[in-house]
Amino acid sequence: MRGPSVRIVAACLSSLLLAGLVATPARADEAPPVILDIGVRQISDRTDVVARFAARTLSRRVVVGLNAVTMTVAAADRDSFVADLLADPAVTWVEEDAPVHADAAGPVNDPFYSQSLDAAAVPEAWTWTTGSADVTVAVVDSGVTANRDLPAARILPGLNLVESGREPVDDDGHGSLVAGVIAATANNGVSAAGVCPQCRILPVRVLKHDADGGASGTSALAASGITYAAANGARVINTSFSTTTDSRLLREAVQYAADHGALVIGSAGQDDYRSDRHYPAATEPALAVAAALPNGLPAAGTNMNPLNSPADRWIDVEGPASLWAVAPSGTGGPLVGTSASAAAVSGAAALAFSLKPTASADEVRSAIVKTAGDPDLTGIGLVGEISPYLDVAGLLHSLGAPDTEAPRITSSTITLGVLGATGTTVLPQAVDDHGVYGFELVADGKVVDSTRDASWDRRMKLVPPAHYRGDWPVTLRAIDYAGNVTEKTYAVQVDTGAPLDVDGPVATELRPAANTRIRDTFTSTISGVTDPSGVASAELWSNGKLVGRDISAPYSLVVRTGSSNGAVTVIWRLTDQLGNSRDYSRTVIADSGGPAVSITKAPGNKAKVKGTVKVYVKASDPSGIARVQLLVNGKVVATDYRSAYQLSVNTAKQKKTMKIQIRAYDRLGNLRYTSARTWYRK
């Protein structure tokens, strides 16, 4: 998704679903109105509560399917209004409405996007089913517009909660891309196929396009969209939006959907790899989806589970981070971020219901999580915990999809050349009538390595026994989702006799230099590497964890430090063709913390200002300060590159209410904000 923030604005359903809206605009010099969500004891109390408090509100409505109403009041009246609400015998709770945002990243050049459906084993799943018109997926979003890849015949009438009485067409583009990822037509030569190309889409518009390029709405309207979808036959409800506020309305809406047999699938958001819970995805029994590349690594900025804290895990599964679909304009383009991931998982759930119509939402949810594959990320340092990656073929097989034919091995690379002590890399390939689940290498009666077929890196390592000369029998196994196995045994030529060379390779240069300050990601290289027996490989380790292996000079690998700070010890382990090794180490300094920054002189919070106002700032960082910026209402109005930092703003050109913040960048790109203060123009 594209927008940095999305607020859902409630609108009318019908007299049966959502009460009428009457709005009175606030004056420009007033603080923004406050939207309140209000729980009532029973459905019949909603109209009475609205009537009793109508005269004091700017707008009011009931919430679809729930014992709740939402009212908008002037900010100055908030406290007294809440007190009076809580004193009403029909009212059970009151909370401020939570803005939600659409969880899409900006456009990226993702080299793996074309592999995304393959990595999730979607083509294999299509050998069992491509979906059913009897399965409805609700897209609770900015609306859906029919296009050349998603015809109107597969889009149900739906509902527009933003503009009552109008068709739920898409004014932003986000909802149509989500719907396309879920259900775009297959084999028509247009864009890309949806995960469930035969299922139907129920559009429920709860987001509207904003001038800043995003979409907006409220949690009350989001809850109404979820309950409407559940009440109108949706088996799957996609919510590619989120808020960090644990809204009671969203909790009740998710439970309402579960009670009606629908599975809510939500995006986990992307806030620079944070682990803060996002709702409704984090609300049980919704399914929370993060974004990953086909190799299992987290996609840029996706939220993650807390590291080493199983009790706090809230993200259930990862899905593809970038998928193609057709926008309302008719052009194709990528949907990037956890919005795409949630849509892919929604399509997978729709395939599951198509295959097994009697399955419950809980059964499908459990099957999605249990069949997802854990990526092999050995040695990769991450700031959060990785969730298992969606496996759609495994999901369908677990729900009863038949598979009786064993795979057929087509190639392996096992017998290329004579094996020395370092062994060789095996690249297996096989075909199957449905899908190959994985491979195993068996030598001397033991499984020595294994890999998943859907893995981005399918390589396995075969290392022969020491001091051995002659043919060595090695068996390759290919296994499908039903456990059907095909084996092929190879006579591998091995020569690991006693070596004459007993020393590891030598190198002349290691980069970066000692104590270099780095941020997030850096490249380490080792050069001038020689050995009489020939260099077999160069492994790079970072703080005791394997980063990767390079087999051709010049040896160079990328190290990811995430948000860590402090010393990072990198070790290059050089190994020759006879198995001798030598280590070269270097220590660099990871710096991912933002600068120290503070305002030393400026009008205080809630100050009244006029004309040009100067703000004096102090900032420092071990890596040096790159620049200091003054932000007014989220926009940069002044930048200073030299201390002492002095920034100015002409308040006459700003809105009457101004949110003021200072942002400082160090020379590595880390940033930090001061706390916000509010000014009012005289």
Structure tokens given for 470? 């002659």
SS (H, E, C) 338-401: HHHHHHHHHHHHHHHHHHCCCCCHHHHHHHHHHHCECCCCCCCCCCCECCCECCHHHHHHHCCC
Residues 468-505 as b/e (b if ≥16 CB within 10 A, e otherwise) read eeeebebebbbbbbbebebebebebebebeebeeeebb
Find where tokens 């809980």 sit: 362
Distance CA 117, CA 94 (A): 44
Q: How many Cα neighbours within 13 Å face the side chain of 248? A: 16
Distance CA 30, CA 18 (A): 28
Pairing of strands 607-609, 677-681: parallel
- Cα–Cα separations (whole angstroms), residue 680 to 73, 277, 613: 21, 34, 12
Active site residues: 141, 174, 339
Count CB-CB contacts under 10 A for residue 317. Answer: 26
- Cα–Cα separations (whole angstroms), residue 392 to 88, 231, 297: 50, 27, 18
Residue 45's contacts (CB-CB under 8 Å, 6 or more residues apart) are 67, 90
Distance CA 558, CA 91 (A): 58
CA angle 61/66/67 to nearest 5° reads 80
Pairing of strands 208-209, 215-216: antiparallel
- The strand pairing partners of 61, in sequence order, are 70
Please check whether residue 218 is in contact with residue 10, taking contact to mean a CB–CB distance below 8 angstroms. yes
Structure tokens given for 376? 């092999």
